[in-house]
Chain A
């Protein structure tokens, strides 16, 4: 079945560091990928929608200069958390859409980001 790989699984770094998270669709081409964030004991919140070859669409309240998204190919989207601070510590999850809008999304295993 469809597989989405997310890397790295865990990141621990100092405040002020920029962190890049990769999301790859391994066996299909994904014109649309999504980035979610999940705080402890809460549900997933959509951060942005990433379309190949165009600028990402950010949800209200998500700073586009803070969370840089690049979707340079049909199989890779990256999320860079710039100058990360402790409040950015969270579980970041990507997903990729295979097919039409009502088709299932395929999720990565998430990245646990801890900023000291």
Chain B
């Protein structure tokens, strides 16, 4: 499976934008880029996913590099409730299981 690399932790002030990077230099042409987040003592929550084009939904935006070797999850205005571990995961078109790495622990301060 293609791997992803994320910073271990990031910190943001409340109500400021947050850009969470993810490198995936060995991504294959059919791999989708998925983002999930996990709040303390809860199961993961789907955030967003994309293939080539940038994507927006009510939770976040996903910016995908033109060569697809990296992507950035954008939280437009961080709130205290956004404090979580964010996972960037590559999902193949034929494989279903998610390979959770260590993710990025996001700390949001008031």
Contact = CB atoms under 8 A, between A and B. Distances in A.
B44 A44 contact: yes
B24 interface: no
Given A43-B100, A43-B102, A46-B99, A101 B43 contact: no
Interface stretch (A63-71, A82-90, A105-113): A105-113
B44 A107 contact: yes
B42 A109 contact: yes
Interface in A55-101: 91, 93-95, 97, 100-101
A34 B36 CA distance: 15
Contacts of A106: 46
Nearest to B35: A104
Given A43-B102, A110-B43, A104 B94 contact: no
Given A93-B43, A110-B42, A32 B102 contact: no
A91 B65 CA distance: 35
A104 B91 CA distance: 9
A30 B101 CA distance: 25
Contacts of A4: 43
B43 A102 contact: no
Contacts of B96: 32, 34, 49, 97, 101, 105
A105 B93 contact: no
Interface of A: 4, 6, 32, 34, 36, 43-46, 49, 91, 93-95, 97, 100-102, 104-110, 112
Interface of B: 32, 34, 36, 38, 41-46, 49, 87, 91-103
23 contacts: A34-B97, A36-B100, A43-B101, A43-B102, A43-B103, A44-B38, A45-B100, A49-B96, A93-B44, A95-B43, A101-B91, A101-B94, A101-B96, A102-B32, A102-B49, A104-B49, A105-B36, A105-B44, A105-B96, A105-B98, A106-B46, A107-B45, A112-B41
